[in-house]
Chains A and B, each alone.
Chain A
């Protein structure tokens, strides 16, 4: 008997049951994929490092005419703090060594490229399918780092590698997920190729003597002791422990972290939708429940009937949702997983648990909703769910007092009279809008000059990034070489009618001692600015030459605090410096110090320098600056002439990543909003068949009723936009401050909020999807005719 009722119910209320099924599928898909992603992201780097076989400490040693690598191996082998060493022989190249088939530079990268033979690899390198690369045919290679993000590089490209007279023709087979050098932040792309090709390169004496080196993957149970033991190593271009290496993935983790926020929102949306659908369908059933009670069926069997019905639907939905969760989860993590191996070993179990969780939640909702069955009397069969004692006032607005047209009034009154019906939709739209605007705020901030202080520099009109000029100065014996270059640039500016001052931030690798701790720290200095021009997190800016500031990471490594005195060796002379402040920085993984401008350093002893900063004398407008930048690009023959905002983007290399996450989230949000709009409107049509037929019978045109229904969505969207606008800034601060803190901005960020984009453009984009979706779905009511009035239950 009950099975027959159940079977009939599933058939008769096909539309609502299908809608419920679709929501269960969505909820399971979101929950299963999001739970998996959250666990994957939480342990993301550990998982990747573990699978890749990453060591506790990594050194990259450049031989350059010596035997630095061999000496380093000896030191490491003898060190008591070392429990194991793996050596990977490498060849160094730069971007000029790679040409396309026409002889043009193939791919622009700033740092040194590293070539590794596949058999000599001491890490596991993964391809795009997350398979370990074990073999590469001769004449082929895989690439990582900036190759993956460069728009000029495509799989299948043939390139010419020219190094010291040796030429190799190589075809790009794919990109590698490289735990050490995989992130563009490292700036050292790796080329993984066949052993024969590497042997061909090393057969050249010039390459073997001047371009070879080694990467040491060191296992240690005492990293601090290891650092002390290796202070004297020569040729070290890179030496970091695993905790610092993790920071190189901050952009990927930022992306993944944002996807975690997206996942949480999706779970929230899915359960809100479930709650709505179950309550909605249960309300529809009140009359039947009343009838069943009237004919003497007891509460328990009635409740059992509904529980079984929802169990059937939710189990089918959960199975389908679980299957769909796998590709959807991958889509969510696509951006983050391009350079990282992401995953967890319990994906299947978590997916199943999430699906079971959704089923239990549905049954819980159903159990909760059917509690009312006990209280309902057979009179509910007549009163459609409301007895005389439980009448709820429905009409909120008054047509007689309203100045709205009939369509607008009906839409507004419907939303005002049954707000509960629109809560889930409002939650969805608000969540979607906040996600999009939050990401837009973060991306815009990363592309603005508000983060200049985080890359350790000050505001200027133009930034001219020239590695060649800086390398010339660094490699020169002339102490004034750097100053001369800046004078030349100033002269060029004056000659072209845009006089200005030029300066640059220099970086010196200097030994710093505090107590027993001794380490080399990259110290920044600009003689054209004051130390007090920079932003400090704690303490006060260095005011005298014997004062210094460090990042919290360096203070932590030294075990020092503000007020302590450190010894810094400059030009062979050791002097004491008082630490007066700490500052945050995103560059050099936050391991920096700042010297007072009057500290006597020698420019050409600097290890590196930032871009040349140009400040025009005539304080030009942004428009004039933009014009001058174009002119300077021609004069310098370089595209690397930037505004402050562009320079931040170039330095952080994260705005583009964030923008692509934003675009992905925007697409997901639009698809979800459209889907939910379609399902909600279809639910409304199903529930309001009588009213639609009545309106048609009394002379409302279909287009008029469609307009009413569409207007409801427009009203909900408007309300959602207002709520999202109010929450946008606080939520951005709440979520993004934590994400930027990982990148070094522990003191919070002054976000670049673009009101038109955030408060107008994105709501309009959402409206451009939701309103047509609502309208097109509402056209279904064309199938409801006025004659339905005669045979509606």
Chain B
């Protein structure tokens, strides 16, 4: 498998009140196509910053990020927007959606905006409904965003992240605002996406979530302290063992 993301000597520095805060310090790693990588670490370690910088949403201070062979630092804002629209999908911790659109309209909006395919509006709608059906929220299609539960809304966000068939999905604590049941349901869907070929990079605090990934990177003070390869999950029976294994490793890392 070739690497879809390659990160080399990535640095990110914030200046707050004239004080320099080095959030990421010479971070280097790569993610291969079809991987599902979790980024873990204590609060303030730079997990979300790493995710947003690698996805091109935030600007890097130094270093290089290559996405599908393209160096992000050489892309204009418009080129970057096109990549985010067509080749990346995002799932945020808060279920951000456009307030004036229905759930279905929110999901299909990136596809309507995209020039990736010549699909008609009807075909896009059909695909949006199919995605909703797959994630079990088809009945909410015509609802406003404030008429559905948090779990349904997060699944809608997943549908939106998938609508343009992205190469990579970035997820920032996708289950952070959900209860356990909803969290499990959402994670099951993300795992399914990965199994269908999508590359996923997600940030999480939750061992149960991370245990479903193929690899876990542990970040402390802006540095990757260690990596733990879990491999593809076979069935849910393996999950307990993976969780135990991961927990032990995290303990070693100082979790």
Contacts and interface: CB of A to CB of B under 8 A. Distances in A.
Contacts of A694: 96-98
A706 to B, nearest CB: 13
Given A395-B105, A399-B108, A399-B112, A414 B100 contact: yes
A417 B100 contact: yes
A297 B170 CA distance: 41
Interface centre among A386, A409, A417, A787 (most CB of B within 10 A): A787
B207 interface: no
Interface in B142-160: 144, 146-147, 160
A699 B100 contact: no
A131 B217 CA distance: 84
B121 A400 contact: yes
Interface residues of B, number: 40
Contacts of B112: 399, 406, 409
A697 B57 contact: yes
A383 interface: yes
A410 B82 CA distance: 19
A785 B57 contact: yes
A260 B113 CA distance: 49
Contacts of B121: 399-400, 402-403
Interface in B96-117: 96-102, 104-105, 108-110, 112-114
A393 B144 contact: yes
A406 B48 CA distance: 30
B52 interface: yes
A391 interface: yes
B35 interface: no
A697 B125 CA distance: 22
Interface centre among A398, A406, A698, A703 (most CB of B within 10 A): A698
B32 to A, nearest CB: 24
Contacts of B128: 400
B122 to A, nearest CB: 8
A410 B98 CA distance: 10
Interface in A670-715: 690-691, 694-704
B187 interface: no
Contacts of A695: 98
B9 to A, nearest CB: 20
A344 B64 CA distance: 72
Contacts of A792: 94, 96
B81 interface: yes
A787 B100 CA distance: 22
B40 to A, nearest CB: 17
A101 B96 CA distance: 78
B20 interface: no
A54 to B, nearest CB: 63
Interface centre among B85, B105, B110 (most CB of A within 10 A): B105
B218 interface: no
A696 B83 CA distance: 11
Given A395-B144, A699-B110, A787-B57, A413 B84 contact: no
Contacts of A400: 104-105, 108, 121, 125, 128
B146 A698 contact: no
A417 B98 CA distance: 12
Given A698-B84, A700-B81, A790-B48, A399 B105 contact: yes
Contact of A406 (B57, B99, B113, B160): B113
A789 B173 CA distance: 13
A699 B86 contact: yes
B67 interface: no
Nearest to B122: A400
Contacts of A790: 48, 52, 57, 92, 172
Contact of B102 (A395, A406, A691, A703): A395
B100 A394 contact: yes
A786 interface: yes
Interface in B45-65: 48, 52, 57-58
A418 interface: yes
Contact of A696 (B81, B92, B98): B81
B172 A383 contact: no
A398 B102 contact: yes
Contact of A418 (B78, B83, B100, B172): B100
Given A394-B99, A400-B104, A698 B160 contact: yes
Interface in B196-228: none
B33 to A, nearest CB: 21
B19 to A, nearest CB: 18
B96 A789 contact: yes
Interface residues of A, number: 38
Contact of A787 (B58, B85, B108, B125): B58
B77 interface: yes
A396 B101 CA distance: 8
A754 B112 CA distance: 43
Contacts of B147: 391
Contacts of B108: 399-400
Nearest to A409: B112
Given A395-B105, A702-B77, A789 B146 contact: no
A418 B99 CA distance: 11
B174 to A, nearest CB: 13
Nearest to B57: A786
Interface centre among A394, A395, A402, A699 (most CB of B within 10 A): A699
Contacts of B160: 698
Nearest to A788: B57
B144 A391 contact: yes
A702 B78 CA distance: 8
B78 A406 contact: no
B105 A398 contact: yes
A386 B146 contact: yes
A484 to B, nearest CB: 81
Interface centre among A393, A400, A403, A690 (most CB of B within 10 A): A400
Contact of B109 (A386, A399, A403, A414): A399
A472 B196 CA distance: 105
Nearest to B81: A701
Contact of A399 (B88, B90, B94, B101): B101
A253 to B, nearest CB: 50
B92 to A, nearest CB: 6
A343 to B, nearest CB: 51
A694 B144 CA distance: 17
Interface string A374-413: 0000000001001000010111101110110010011001
Contacts of A398: 102, 105
Nearest to A697: B90
B24 to A, nearest CB: 13
B52 A787 contact: yes
B101 A395 contact: yes
A35 to B, nearest CB: 40
Interface string B158-193: 001000100000001000000000000000000000
Interface in B114-138: 114, 121, 125, 128
A697 B113 contact: no
Given A394-B99, A406-B112, A690-B96, A698 B90 contact: yes
A702 B84 CA distance: 13
24 contacts: A395-B102, A398-B102, A399-B105, A399-B121, A400-B121, A400-B125, A403-B121, A410-B98, A418-B100, A694-B97, A698-B90, A699-B82, A699-B85, A699-B88, A699-B113, A699-B114, A700-B81, A700-B113, A702-B77, A702-B81, A786-B84, A787-B57, A787-B58, A790-B48
Given A399-B104, A399-B112, A402-B121, 18 more contacts: A394-B99, A395-B105, A398-B105, A399-B108, A400-B108, A417-B100, A697-B92, A698-B90, A698-B109, A699-B83, A699-B114, A700-B113, A701-B77, A785-B58, A786-B57, A786-B58, A789-B92, A790-B172
Rank and list the top 5 A-B pairs by shortest CB-CB distance, nearest first.
A699-B85, A787-B58, A399-B105, A699-B84, A786-B57
